[in-house]
């Protein structure tokens, strides 16, 4: 049954046919799981899985002053990118808050592609469009593309692809379909994100699944990203949180001027009042977003780690409590449960 008002990706019918449990997410009807969160999580860590991430937004920014525009709005230094390279960066507001975290792909000297979070597509597009300058054009091309993430230690071999440097991209062919092969992902595993025309999505999905790649939903995507401490916009970072407090200062080229740069320089100079930390539960308990951390703080993301078999999470705590090894107490449904701060990432893959 469709849910009124929700968008669907080009692969919606495939998800339903595979028995996926469909849920509302960021204005879309998306698969949360197929076989189950844990088997899908383990498939990606041990073999490979494929995610439909076609709900993500794609914006083309073009024109002779494209770099000038993006340098004034994005936190990272886009001038470092050569054609075929990509960069994780932040779209920041005047107070240094995070409008969105995104990946910028350099397609040419005056052409960038921005891949933004689904829930922020409209807000990010409006933010960019309102700030266009002469000699630039921002275009929302999201509906033209599908995006499939194939992740895991056997992902590349299953696609007939060789290894390549992270955060690069190139046009290529996978199973006879022309795709943009992006060496990016949200799981901490080796893999790629394949961008193709929306009309080719079903053929590409079917070919990938036919190799034995496990279809994976949003549930496993969330547990995988949390194990490796990748932030989720709307949970760990928002328009009210700043990059320094969130541990994303490395994405900010503070020697250039961009929205909120002055405020971010001030926070860095004075030191943030709170910091986003990773933690592991010492007692049997699963932390969840919104639970309070005793002493002033709150959980922003929490789950049970399938790889470590313990409760894990991230949250903001006073800076004095942010050192790895520091004990924490999380209020889990009215019961104080012991935890401790750990160095990011929480899960580190063993060298084979």
**Strand, coil or helix: what is 5?**
coil
pLDDT at 150: 99
> What does DSSP say about strands 111-116 and 57-62: parallel, antiparallel, or unpaired?
antiparallel
Encode pLDDT of 95-150 as tens digits.
Answer: 999 999 999 999 999 999 999 999 999 999 999 999 999 999 999 999 999 999 99
DSSP per-residue codes, 45-97: HHS-EEEE-TTSEEEEEESTTHHHHHHHHBSS-GGGPPTTBEEEEEEE-TTSB
> Is this model's pTM higher than 0.75 or not?
yes
pLDDT at 1: 36
Encode pLDDT of 255-286 as tens digits.
Answer: 999 999 999 999 999 999 999 999 999 999 99
Sheet of 86-92, strands arranged across: 86-92, 98-108, 111-116, 57-62, 137-140
Query: CA–CA separation, 96 vs 242, rounded Å?
Result: 5
Give the count of beta carbons closer than 10 Å to the beta carbon of residue 257. 10
Query: CA–CA separation, 315 vs 277, rounded Å?
Result: 6
**Strand, coil or helix: what is 173?**
strand
Query: CA–CA separation, 110 vs 129, rounded Å?
Result: 17
List of the chain residues with pLDDT < 50: 1
Residue 37 C-alpha from the chain's centroid: 18
Q: How many residues does the chain have?
A: 352
């Amino acid at each position: 049954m469709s849910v009124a008002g929700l968008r669907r990706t080009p692969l919606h019918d495939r998800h339903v046919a595979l028995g996926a449990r469909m849920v509302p997410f960021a204005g879309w009807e998306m698969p949360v799981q197929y076989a189950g969160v844990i088997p899908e999580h383990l498939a990606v860590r041990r073999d490979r899985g494929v995610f439909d991430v076609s709900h993500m937004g794609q914006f083309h920014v073009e024109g002779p002053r494209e770099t000038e525009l993006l340098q004034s709005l994005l936190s990272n230094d886009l001038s470092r990118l050569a054609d075929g390279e990509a960069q994780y960066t932040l779209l920041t507001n005047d107070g240094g808050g995070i409008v969105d975290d995104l990946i910028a792909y350099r397609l040419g000297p005056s052409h960038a592609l921005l891949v933004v979070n689904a829930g922020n597509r409209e807000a990010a597009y409006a933010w960019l469009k309102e700030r266009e300058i002469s000699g630039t054009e921002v275009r929302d091309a999201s509906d033209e593309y599908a995006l499939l993430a194939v992740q895991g230690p056997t992902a590349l071999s299953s696609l007939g692809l060789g290894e390549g440097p992270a955060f690069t991209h190139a046009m290529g062919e996978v199973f006879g379909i022309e795709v943009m092969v992006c060496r990016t992902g949200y799981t901490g595993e080796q893999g790629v994100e394949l961008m193709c025309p929306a009309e080719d999505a079903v053929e590409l999905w079917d070919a990938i699944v036919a190799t034995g790649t496990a279809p994976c939903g949003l549930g496993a995507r969330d547990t995988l990203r949390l194990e490796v401490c990748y932030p989720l916009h709307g949970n760990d970072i928002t328009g009210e949180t700043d990059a320094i407090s969130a541990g994303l200062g490395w994405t900010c080229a503070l020697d250039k001027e961009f929205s909120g740069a002055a405020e971010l320089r001030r926070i860095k100079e004075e030191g943030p009042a709170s910091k986003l930390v990773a933690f592991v539960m010492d007692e049997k308990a699963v932390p969840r977003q919104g639970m309070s951390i005793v002493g002033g703080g709150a959980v922003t993301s929490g789950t049970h780690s399938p790889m470590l078999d313990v409760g894990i999470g991230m949250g903001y705590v006073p800076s004095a409590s942010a050192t790895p090894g520091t004990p924490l107490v999380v209020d889990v449904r009215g019961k104080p449960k012991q935890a401790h701060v750990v160095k990011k990432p929480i899960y580190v893959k063993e060298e084979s």
